[in-house]
């Protein structure tokens, strides 16, 4: 079955502390205007599982992890057996997810197939439709609570474009996480001007108050 739009053979940035590859899954159930991967979100898969697993087999001893990204990996109907095959080769798995499929996350956790999860906290509930074309903050929190109760390591992150969210909203999101018992870093990924996005966003027009944000969150560029 064709699973991937593309793969990145090597990264030291996307899976904490280990060398990894990135598997980019085609398609997504959101349409975030700041998304850097419009070709992947709107594209179709053309790399099958056998090709991806063959790639991993040849790199046993060179790579240690696989990042499932996209797009949205949890939409892939064969994700569970695919992850089993990846783990059978001895790799750790990191899932990058918009958290809209808590049922899939629960299934993967039940089989101990995940070693790290990055949850995208897209926006406050009132802004989800405007920024992401839909989505449910309830589903985000359902996924969040699953991970809070589990032993798997995870992080929460947000992409910050100051024309879409302001500093007060980011700080409010950080405060909400703390109120819900989150004690890990909240990573704010600063929007990179000059990159084509799903919503064809213009360059940011506003300066960011870094000192104010740093009091509440960990910045990641």
- 132-168 confidence digits (pLDDT tens): 998 888 999 999 999 999 999 999 999 988 889 998 9
Q: For 2-220, CATH number?
A: 3.20.20.70
Decide if pLDDT at 204 tops 90.
no
Q: What is the mean pLDDT of the chain?
A: 91
| pLDDT for 156 | 97
DSSP string, 18-64: S-EEEEEE---S---TT-S-HHHHHS---EEHHHHHHHHHHTBTTB-
Q: Which residues fall within 8 angstroms of residue 143, CB to CB, at 6 or more apart?
A: 97, 99, 100, 101, 102, 105, 119
Give the confidence band of 14 by pLDDT, cuts at 50, 70, 90.
very high
Residue 69 sits at φ, ψ, to 5 deg, of: -130, -165
Nearest CA among 122, 113, 95, 116 for reference residue 32: 122
- 28-75 confidence digits (pLDDT tens): 999 999 898 999 999 999 999 999 999 999 999 999 999 999 999 999
Whether the Cβ atoms of residue 116 and residue 18 lie closer than 8 Å to each other: no
Sheet hosting strand 116-120, strand order edge to edge: 47-48, 2-11, 20-25, 65-70, 92-97, 116-120, 153-160, 186-190, 218-220
Do you know the residue count of the chain? 221
- 83-109 confidence digits (pLDDT tens): 999 999 999 999 999 999 999 999 999
Whether the Cβ atoms of residue 15 and residue 94 lie closer than 8 Å to each other: yes
| pLDDT for 131 | 93
Nearest CA among 21, 23, 26, 49 for reference residue 37: 26
Decide if pLDDT at 18 tops 70.
yes
Residue spans of the domains in the chain: they are 2-220
Decide if pLDDT at 205 tops 60.
no
| pLDDT for 197 | 81
| pLDDT for 195 | 73
Residue with the bigger pLDDT between 213 and 194: it is 194
Both tokens of residue 203? 């360059």
- In whole angstroms, what is the distance from residue 124 CA to residue 120 CA? 12
| pLDDT for 221 | 46
Burial of 60 (0-12, 13-18, 19+ CB in 10 A): exposed
């Amino acid at each position: 079955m064709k699973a991937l739009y593309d793969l990145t053979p090597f990264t030291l940035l996307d899976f904490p502390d280990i060398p990894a590859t990135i598997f980019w899954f085609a398609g997504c159930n959101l349409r975030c205007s700041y998304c850097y991967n419009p070709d992947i979100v709107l594209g179709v898969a053309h790399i099958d599982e056998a090709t991806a697993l063959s790639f991993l087999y040849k790199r046993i001893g060179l790579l240690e992890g696989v990042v499932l990204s996209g797009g949205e990996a949890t939409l892939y109907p064969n994700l569970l057996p695919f992850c089993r095959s990846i783990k059978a080769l001895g790799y750790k798995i990191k899932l990058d997810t918009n958290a809209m499929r808590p049922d899939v996350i629960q299934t993967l956790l039940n089989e101990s197939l995940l070693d790290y999860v990055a949850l995208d906290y897209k926006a406050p509930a009132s802004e989800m439709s405007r920024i992401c074309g839909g989505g449910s903050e309830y589903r985000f929190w359902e996924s969040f609570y699953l991970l809070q109760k589990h032993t798997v390591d995870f992080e929460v992150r947000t992409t910050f474009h100051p024309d879409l969210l302001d500093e007060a909203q980011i700080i409010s999101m950080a405060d909400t996480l703390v109120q819900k018992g989150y004690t890990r870093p909240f990573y704010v990924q600063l929007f990179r001007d000059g990159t084509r996005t799903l919503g064809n966003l213009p360059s940011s027009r506003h300066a960011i108050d870094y000192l104010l944000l740093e009091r509440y969150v960990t910045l990641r560029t």
